Chain A
Amino acid sequence: MAGLALLPGCSGQQPERADNRNASRTGVTILVAASLRECVAEMVRASGIDGQLQVDLSAASSSSLARQVIAGAPADLFFSASREWAEEVLKEIPSARGVHFADGRMVMIVPADAPHGPASLAELARDEKMRLGVGAAEVPAGRYAMEALGQMKLLEKLQDAGQLVYGQDVRQVLHWTGMGEIDAGIVYASDALLEKNVRIAQEIDPALHQPVEYWIVWLPGAGGREEVDRMYAFVQSPAAGEILARFGFGTVHR
């Protein structure tokens, strides 16, 4: 809990280099799922590969990035926020290799300025006036939240009492909670840690829902091979695990 609540110190601001506009193929191009961007930027810095050559991060949704890779866009590494898209790339590009390096974790958040907010989902379920935000059933985060609530035997009770509020995506649940529009929400820990207006009230046991897998895919791109290999290895190292934990991701134990 303490480790999770710690806000990433040097994250965010301008991790990427903005100076060299002439993209040279001696640099490394990393495609990164938007939800992983800050964390990957931090790992690039920690690995030290950006000292020797330019590292470009391009952030978008995992599906867009995978399509870019398959269409032959010049990239070296692909960080996917979903197992499906990583596997799709591995299937289409036989010489690529990939590994599941991190897990997403779900948490219950409450507004930061609500000291008497619910301390747990069980407590929230007991007060029928309280409302809980979750992602819509179509988005993965919504599915995971429902699965967990079901396993905790809280889902029916919350649904019957009309306590559930469905957001378009996690981001919306995060906003609503930050603005105090709802009493609590279920989101990814990694998102919760970056939003100042919310605090984490309860961690949800990852065993209660399908695993949220983050993958790194090594691509047979051109240039900077040694650095790419180093980054690929670094992401799976204990040092990277520490960074991942700081950003709210769970590491994969081998």
Chain B
Amino acid sequence: MSAAEIATVLLSLQVALVAVLLILVPGTGMAWFLARRNFWGKFAVDALVNLPLVLPPVVTGYGLLLLLGRNGPLGYWIGQWPGWRIVFDWKGAALASAVVAFPLFVRSVRLAFEQADRSLEDAARTLGDGPWKMFFRISLPLARNGLIAGILLAFARALGEFGATIMLAGNIPGQTQTIPLHIYQQLQTPGGEQGAWRLVAISVLVATAALVAGNWLQRERSR
């Protein structure tokens, strides 16, 4: 493997991990919100959360670009911070992956919250837990398998993200060129199939490792 391929793999792992970290807190909150609260306009919030699942990722990426580009409402604001860059930067790749993977995580965790035994939460409340304490001591641990599944799904999706990433972060080797972008570029280059296959093999390896780790973590509970 060449140094550039190793850099690509490391960058991909970094981007996917940061994407998962970005999703974790808002995703869990959103999952709880959708699983437990009934409010006016819930349908619209639900649809919005799932939008990146339905839209072609390129469109999601384009939307983010319009929002975060120099001419975009958020982009202008970010531009005021010296040294901060989202477009054509690995942070943009992580953000794009996070947005695309967000609904998968929320779906998985939401299902876990919906299936949780609410009477246990009531019991914890009578035993002195406020809502937050109850959430962290009971609800979250009980949703553990769904949480792990959500993290795995999001990680896998982030690792394979292409369309939104190339739109928002570009395709710059060593900076924003993740594994799928590298493979795309190799396939665009006649005779580049060899390099593409090496990265495909690595993707398979990483995905398998993540799956095995996830299964192990899920089994740990019923030890």
Contacts and interface: CB of A to CB of B under 8 A. Distances in A.
A210 interface: no
B170 A58 contact: yes
Contact of B172 (A12, A16, A171, A191): A16
Given A14-B4, A29-B88, A68-B170, A56 B175 contact: yes
Contacts of A71: 62, 65-66, 69-72
Contact of A16 (B58, B85, B167, B174): B174
Contacts of B11: 21
A68 B167 contact: yes
A72 B70 contact: yes
Interface in B173-215: 173-176, 185, 187-191
B176 A58 contact: yes
The SS class assigned to the A binding surface is mixed
Give the most central of B70, B87, B172: most A CB within 10 Å.
B172
B119 interface: no
A29 B72 CA distance: 20
Contacts of A56: 88, 170, 172, 175
B90 interface: yes
A60 B185 CA distance: 8
A38 B189 contact: yes
Contacts of A19: 174
B185 A59 contact: yes
Contact of B72 (A23, A72, A195): A72
A174 to B, nearest CB: 6
Nearest to B167: A64
A12 B88 CA distance: 22
A18 B3 CA distance: 9
B167 A67 contact: yes
A246 to B, nearest CB: 15
B88 A58 contact: yes
B188 A20 contact: no
A234 to B, nearest CB: 21
Contacts of A45: none
A251 to B, nearest CB: 22
9 contacts: A56-B170, A58-B88, A59-B171, A71-B62, A71-B65, A73-B87, A73-B170, A171-B187, A196-B190
Interface of B: 2-4, 7, 11, 58, 62, 65-66, 69-72, 75, 85, 87-90, 166-167, 170-176, 185, 187-191
Interface of A: 12, 14, 16-21, 23, 25, 29, 31, 34-35, 37-38, 56-60, 64, 67-68, 71-75, 171, 174, 178, 191-192, 194-196
The 8 nearest A-B residue pairs measured at CB = A18-B174, A72-B70, A195-B190, A58-B170, A71-B69, A72-B69, A72-B71, A194-B190
